Amino acid sequence: MSSRSAVRPVLLAYLARHPTEKPRLEALTTALDTDADATEADGLSISCTALVIDQNRCVLHVPAAAQDKPETPSTAWCPDDRSLLATAIRAVQEQAQIQPAELCLTPEHTNSPTDITVSIDDAGNLHADVCFAFYLAPSTRRTPRPAGEATWRPAEQFTARPAALTLTNLDGQAVPLNASVVIYNDQGEYLLHLRDMREGIWAPGCWALLGGNREPQDLTLEDTVRRELKEEAGLVPQHLEMFATEEAITPDGLAIPVQIYAALWNGDPARLPLTEGVMLAWFPPETVPRLRLGGGTLDLVRRHSRSRNAA
């Protein structure tokens, strides 16, 4: 992957959310439109910065390489990184020894950058820095102690970027950005979804619950579940009830809080117009452990089955 192919979709997504930034980023847009196969050798370099905020609204700082004041973790993008987001995650892991599973995306920005800055050096080479924001995952009960000289500093002391723009709406409180549903029938069976065997998706080739990521048009996570069920399987349950809040791990290694719902449905999955994945099928709880499962699917099925039996 070239630097241009890595940054182009990120830049387009950023400008879609911030159209007024187009004039400021015109030099980068022009550079990306020149040669799709060009690399850093042609004068474009990319770095990624991580803005990590804990539950007390303190920001992670690491020692600066060439300045007297600390800065947020940052590192150069390399072709081995699966995305620019992965580069920012790597910066936190390498420079503060905070693991990806201790971090989650912010509801304000999800996986889009909070800021992109562009500079040109004396030789005329273009450099772009892409900043992503992270919160500590809900399961990270205490703020981790970073390695070496890295420190947590109050957001009011954050000066590396335009603080008024970047930190105004970032409170450090992680919330679910994903929703899934435990679907069961009157026979006590559970409806599971066999996912595609495709690189880069969560739980490829595994049986899992139906669900997905919250989209901008979703006013609530219940809206997310209903939209995903209809889009993926043409399924419209009459009633959804909140069941649990869990954490899953994304392909980038980040934690993602997931709101779990439960729904009763007694239909035939073979008659559903499945648009994603391989198939849907009913399984009794005692059969589920024999399957290749994604994430916490088995635990959720067992917990729901026990709660129904107790009721």
Mark which of 116, 136, 166 sits at the end of a domain.
Answer: 166
> Above 80 in pLDDT, residue 129?
yes
- Domain co-membership, 203 together with 90: no
This prediction has a pTM of 0.84
90-114 per-position pLDDT tens digit: 999 999 999 999 999 998 888 889 9
CATH number at residue 303: 3.90.79.10
- Domain co-membership, 55 together with 183: no
- Domain co-membership, 182 together with 161: no
User: Residue 171 falls within a domain, yes or no?
Assistant: no
- Domain co-membership, 89 together with 23: yes
66 pLDDT band, cuts 50/70/90, is low
User: Residue 267 falls within a domain, yes or no?
Assistant: yes
191-234 per-position pLDDT tens digit: 999 999 988 788 899 999 999 999 889 999 999 999 999 999 99
> Above 50 in pLDDT, residue 39?
no
User: Residue 112 falls within a domain, yes or no?
Assistant: yes
pLDDT of 163 reads 44
User: Residue 41 falls within a domain, yes or no?
Assistant: yes
Mean of pLDDT over the chain: 89
User: Residue 17 falls within a domain, yes or no?
Assistant: yes
> Above 90 in pLDDT, residue 10?
yes
Mark which of 118, 135, 166 sits at the end of a domain.
Answer: 166
User: Residue 217 falls within a domain, yes or no?
Assistant: yes
Range(s) of the domain holding residue 43 = 3-166
User: Residue 113 falls within a domain, yes or no?
Assistant: yes
> Above 80 in pLDDT, residue 22?
yes
What sign for the dihedral angle of Cα 210, 214, 215, 221? positive
Please count the structural domains in the chain: 2
